[in-house]
Amino acid sequence: DCRMAAEQLKNNPRHKAYLEGVSLHQLRKLYSLLKGHLAGESLAEGLKTFRQEETIDPEEDMNKLDDKELAKRKRIMDELFEKNRKKKDDPDFIYDIEVEFPQDEQLESCGWDVESGEEV
């Protein structure tokens, strides 16, 4: 697993001084490219494979994935969330954002939100 190998390398006390400026993402990418190279892939093929492994297909049915693949997708989503999340210390952080949505179009009603005479 490239992720585990990169974490072990980054956390190794012998290499810590050399790798403190290198992100874990870069190390995972390096391991993935090396793994692909050893399997006979070109650099372009390795980069394409890495991009596919590190992105989420919105059309993919995650209900059909096994536990290992689902955990991988969740890890990718968590990393993307943390990367895009605004924190209190960020210079462009705004606590209470109010957004006005345009009401130009006719709203569509849904069958599930229509009240019926039956009580639950």
Give pLDDT, residue 113.
61
pLDDT of residue 88: 84
pLDDT reported for residue 64: 92
Confidence class for position 63, pLDDT limits 50, 70, 90: very high
- 28-61 pLDDT tens trace: 888 889 999 999 999 999 999 888 888 888 888 9
Alpha helices in 1-120 (DSSP H): 2-11, 16-19, 24-38, 43-53, 67-84
Q: Specify whether the CB–CB gap between 36 and 46 falls below 8 A.
A: yes
The greatest distance separating any two alpha carbons of the chain, rounded to the nearest whole angstrom, comes to 71
Query: Quick one: which of 59, 6, 13 has its CA closest to 29?
Result: 6
Q: Burial code of 34-59, b = ≥16 C-beta within 10 A, e = fewer?
A: ebbeeeebeeeebeebbeeebeeeee
